[in-house]
Chains A and B, each alone.
Chain A
Amino acid sequence: MSSRTVQPGLSFEYLMWIFTRISGLSLVLLSAIGVFSAFALGARTQVDLPTLMRWTFFPNPNHVINSEIPDVTLGWANAFWQVMQILIVFFGVTHGFNGLRVVIEDFIGQSIARPFIRGFIFLLWIFALVIAIYVVIFS
């Protein structure tokens, strides 16, 4: 079987295909960093599963305040974890809403509704990103 090289055009679908792979792997990596850091920063002794999940996926003082562990803000309220949260939120939200778009467009095929659904998902994406980054920065 002979192989040939194909030069793919830089279409929107192609870029999102690549982005889905990169963001998926990044999310797994960021989650691993979150779990290890949660254990390193003191979840070792008093951990329960919801708390560990909060510390892993959204280590925000306002988020982990619902846990029953008293000194949750220790170690989390600094710029490094804010950047990590913004990364995890950006990758997660974009990956998720792009996946929703792909699945919906696979189902409806060629349709008049396609640009409207695209616009609606775009608005949801912007809204989710803005409120998440607002919560990360102003809490």
Chain B
Amino acid sequence: MGLNRRVGFFAGLKYRGGGPMWAWILHRVTGIAMVLFVGTHVFASFFMQQTGSDLATNINIVYESWIFQIVVTFIVIFHGLNGMRIAILDIWPKFQVFQREALWLQWFIFIPIYGLTVFILIQRAIAGNY
């Protein structure tokens, strides 16, 4: 059944849940984005290989460009790390007490991995290796 809420999208954003709320929103947004982008990439690759379609080739050229890859790597790395935090806290519910610390730890792991990825992407793009 669920609650019968009449809360609009922008009213919902005013809820002051802090870090965990934004992690929840980002998890959903990045999840939807991944289904969209990676799903499009899968279908485009299939039609590029099978029929040599120009549209599919252009979609893949956009997907593989370094600017788009900066967005995609953010989406994938954030969703993966946040999902690991959720799964680990669900398996050992005693650690739920430390969920804010877990969120900080997650960002401390995220920043070096993503920073290194962006550094490599921009370095290669400037060197013209793509």
Contact of A103 among B2, B28, B42, B121 (CB under 8 A): B28
A25 to chain B: which residues have CB within 8 Å? 84, 87
Stretch with Cβ within 8 A of A (4 or more), from B15-23, B31-39, B99-107:
B31-39
Smallest distance from the beta carbon of B96 to chain A beta carbons, Å? 13
Within 8 A of B (CB), among A80-127: 92, 96-97, 99-100, 103, 109-110, 124
B87 in contact with A21 (CB, 8 Å) = yes
A96 in contact with B45 (CB, 8 Å) = no
A103 to chain B: which residues have CB within 8 Å? 28, 31-32
> Considering the chains assembled together, what is the distance between the CA atoms of A90 and B60 in angstroms?
22
Stretch with Cβ within 8 A of B (4 or more), from A4-12, A36-44, A70-78, A128-136:
A128-136
> Considering the chains assembled together, what is the distance between the CA atoms of A135 and B31 in angstroms?
24
B34 in contact with A96 (CB, 8 Å) = yes
Please name the residue on chain B nearest to A105 by beta carbon: B2
> Considering the chains assembled together, what is the distance between the CA atoms of A18 and B103 in angstroms?
22
> Considering the chains assembled together, what is the distance between the CA atoms of A96 and B80 in angstroms?
12
A135 to chain B: which residues have CB within 8 Å? 46, 49
A49 in contact with B34 (CB, 8 Å) = no
Say whether B54 faces chain A, with CB atoms less than 8 Å apart: no
Main secondary structure of the interface of B (DSSP, over half): helix
Query: What are 30 A-B contacts defined by CB distance under 8 Å?
Result: A24-B83, A24-B84, A24-B86, A25-B84, A25-B87, A27-B80, A28-B80, A31-B80, A48-B124, A49-B69, A49-B117, A49-B124, A50-B64, A50-B130, A62-B49, A96-B31, A96-B35, A96-B38, A99-B32, A100-B31, A100-B32, A103-B28, A103-B31, A110-B2, A128-B42, A131-B42, A131-B43, A131-B46, A132-B42, A135-B49
Told that A28-B80, A99-B35, A100-B32 touch, could you supply 19 new A-B pairs with CB distance under 8 A?
A21-B90, A24-B84, A24-B87, A48-B130, A49-B124, A50-B130, A62-B49, A92-B38, A96-B31, A96-B35, A97-B35, A100-B35, A103-B31, A103-B32, A109-B2, A110-B2, A128-B42, A131-B46, A139-B49
